[in-house]
């Protein structure tokens, strides 16, 4: 299902691996020997590039999933209850942002929309704003909206890597700290662990959402 997305992600990871190779070649073979400022800075930038590839992959997976669901053209009334948070996003936005003198009409239309027989079409960029600075909470919220109860990551220890990755990227990109500070405590072996963790998480997300679509889990149980 995610063939095109997998190719795009692989290209992003090729860039990350190339940067990792540069770090490996530049750093001292003796871990007790101080490294040059140049290699430490590159280690800090490694987090920025790795996070960019991760955010890109997650957005691609979610967008492709929403396109697949829209292409199925299922009736809104047949959707599983948690998925209404996405399927009825326009009505929910209207409910939140509309004028007070029309609130009752907007409330009525919201519940009416849940039972309509027209096909469910969802903007594939619906969650793109939410999927920035992706960490544990963002992924858990996305899973909840889709009604997915599977684990968010393959192993809980990956949450630590993801939280660290988001924080390092945010700190460097927003200027709170320099790349040298971000990369000071890490050697190439430790960076490779984080790269492997991101690849594992993305593969897990691909499998989870492909299964979700193939089993039509966005539909209520009676309609699958």
Kindly report, residue by residue over 7-18, the tens digit of the pLDDT: 999 999 999 999
Q: Give me the pLDDT at residue 32, please.
A: 83
pLDDT-derived band at 5, boundaries 50, 70, 90: very high
Q: What is the rounded average pLDDT of the residues 167-176?
A: 90
- Contact at 8 Å (CB) between 53 and 76? no
pLDDT in the model for residue 99: 65
pLDDT of residue 29: 86
Q: Is 123 exposed, middle or buried (0-12, 13-18, 19+ CB in 10 A)?
A: middle
Give the class (CATH, top level) of 3-73+121-223: mainly alpha
Cα distances from 117 to residues 77, 105, 167, 204, 220, in angstroms, run: 6, 20, 44, 33, 14
In the prediction, which pLDDT does 120 show?
87
Asked if 56 contacts 184 with a C-beta cutoff of 8 angstroms, the reply is no
Q: What is the reported pLDDT for 224?
A: 84
Q: How far apart are CA 144 and CA 133, in angstroms?
A: 18
Q: What is the pLDDT of residues 120-158, one digit of tens each?
A: 899 999 998 888 888 889 999 999 999 999 999 999 999
Tokens (6 digits) for 86: 């996405």
Rounded mean pLDDT of 206-223?
95
pLDDT of residue 175: 85
Distance CA 114, CA 110 (A): 7
| Rounded (to 5) percent helix, strand, coil in the chain | 70, 0, 30
Q: What is the DSSP secondary structure assignment for residue 219, as one 8-state letter?
A: B
What ranges in the chain are assigned the alpha helix state H? 3-26, 37-72, 84-87, 89-97, 103-114, 136-146, 157-173, 179-183, 188-214
pLDDT of 26 over the 80 cut: yes
Split at pLDDT 50, 70, 90, the class of 113 is low
Q: How far apart are CA 92 and CA 83, in angstroms?
A: 13
pLDDT for 95: 66
pLDDT of 51-108, one tens digit each?
Answer: 999 999 999 999 999 999 999 999 988 999 999 899 888 777 776 676 666 766 767 6
Lowest mean pLDDT among 47-61, 122-136, 189-203, 207-221: 122-136
- Sequence length of the chain is 224
Q: Which residue has the higher pLDDT, 197 or 93?
A: 197
pLDDT at position 90 is 77
Q: How much of the chain exceeds pLDDT 90, in percent? A: 68
């Amino acid at each position: 299902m995610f063939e095109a997305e997998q190719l795009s992600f692989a290209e992003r990871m090729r860039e990350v691996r190339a940067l990792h190779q540069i770090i490996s070649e530049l750093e001292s073979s003796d871990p007790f020997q101080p490294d040059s400022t140049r290699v430490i800075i590159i280690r800090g930038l490694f987090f920025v590039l790795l996070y960019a590839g991760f955010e890109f992959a997650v957005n691609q997976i979610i967008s492709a999933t929403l396109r697949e669901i829209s292409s199925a053209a299922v009736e809104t009334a047949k959707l599983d209850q948690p998925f209404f948070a996405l399927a009825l996003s326009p009505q929910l936005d209207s409910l939140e942002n509309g004028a007070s003198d029309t609130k009752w009409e907007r409330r009525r239309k919201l519940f009416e929309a849940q039972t309509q027989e027209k096909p469910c079409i969802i903007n594939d960029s619906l969650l793109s704003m939410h999927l920035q600075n992706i960490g544990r909470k963002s992924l858990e919220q996305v899973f909840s909206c889709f009604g997915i109860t599977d684990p968010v990551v393959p192993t809980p220890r990956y949450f630590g890597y993801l939280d660290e990755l988001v924080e390092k990227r945010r700190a460097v990109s927003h200027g709170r700290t320099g790349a040298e500070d971000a990369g000071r405590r890490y050697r190439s072996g430790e960076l490779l662990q984080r790269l492997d963790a991101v690849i594992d998480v993305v593969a897990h997300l691909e499998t989870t959402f492909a299964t979700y679509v193939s089993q039509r889990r966005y539909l209520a149980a009676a309609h699958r």
